[in-house]
C-alpha cells in the first residue's frame, strides 16, 4: 500500500513534479510575488472619480440651508458631505504629489523639501477655491 512518491512533497497542483529543493520554493515565490503594473488609465480614472466626489460634496453643501442646522437630525448629510469632500480632496492632493514626485529627482532630502512645499501649495489652492 505504499505509494512510489510517498517520501516526496507534492508540487503545485497539476505540475506533476515535486517541490524538493529550496531553489524551487524561491522560484515559485519570486513568480508569485512579482510586481504587477497598474493599468495605464488608473491614475486618470481615480482622479476623475475623486473629482466627482468632491464636486458632489460641494453641491450638497451649497444646497443646504443654515436654518436646518437647528435640528440635529439634519446634520448627517452635511457631515457626510464634509468628510467625503475632504477625503476626496486629500486623495487628489496625494495623487498630484505622487505624479510630481515621479517626474523629479531622486535625491531624498530634495524630495522631502519639495513634498513639504507641494503639500503647502496644494492646501493653499484648495482653501482659495472655497
Helix (H, G, I), strand (E, B) or coil at 89: helix
What are 72-128's pLDDT values in tens digits? 888 888 889 899 999 998 988 888 887 777 665 556 677 777 888 888 888 777 777
Q: Examine residue 26 and state whether it is found in any structural domain, yes or no.
A: no
Q: Examine residue 86 and state whether it is found in any structural domain, yes or no.
A: yes
Q: Examine residue 55 and state whether it is found in any structural domain, yes or no.
A: yes
Per-residue confidence (pLDDT) for residue 104, from 0 to 100: 57
Per-residue confidence (pLDDT) for residue 119, from 0 to 100: 82
Q: Examine residue 19 and state whether it is found in any structural domain, yes or no.
A: no
Give how far the C-alpha of residue 82 lies from the chain's centroid of Cα atoms, to the nearest Å. 20
pTM of the model: 0.51
The dihedral over CA atoms of 61, 66, 67, 73, expressed in degrees to the nearest 10, equals 60
What are 39-62's pLDDT values in tens digits? 888 888 999 999 999 998 888 888
Domain hosting residue 77, numbered range: 44-129
What's the CA gap between 49 and 8, in Å, rounded?
Answer: 52
* Structural domains of the chain, count: 1
Q: Examine residue 12 and state whether it is found in any structural domain, yes or no.
A: no
CB 96 within 8 A of CB 119: no
Amino acid at each position: 500500500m505504499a505509494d512510489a512518491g510517498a517520501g516526496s512533497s507534492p508540487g503545485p497542483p497539476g505540475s506533476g513534479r515535486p517541490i524538493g529543493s529550496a531553489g524551487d520554493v524561491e522560484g515559485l515565490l519570486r513568480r508569485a510575488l512579482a510586481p504587477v503594473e497598474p493599468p495605464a488609465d488608473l491614475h486618470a480614472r481615480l482622479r476623475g472619480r475623486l473629482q466627482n466626489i468632491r464636486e458632489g460634496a460641494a453641491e450638497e453643501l451649497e444646497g443646504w440651508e443654515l436654518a436646518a442646522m437647528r435640528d440635529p437630525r439634519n446634520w448627517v448629510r452635511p457631515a457626510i458631505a464634509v468628510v467625503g469632500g475632504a477625503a476626496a480632496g486629500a486623495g487628489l492632493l496625494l495623487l498630484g504629489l505622487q505624479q510630481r514626485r515621479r517626474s523629479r529627482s531622486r535625491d531624498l532630502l530634495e524630495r522631502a523639501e519639495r513634498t513639504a512645499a507641494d503639500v503647502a501649495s496644494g492646501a493653499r489652492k484648495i482653501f482659495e477655491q472655497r
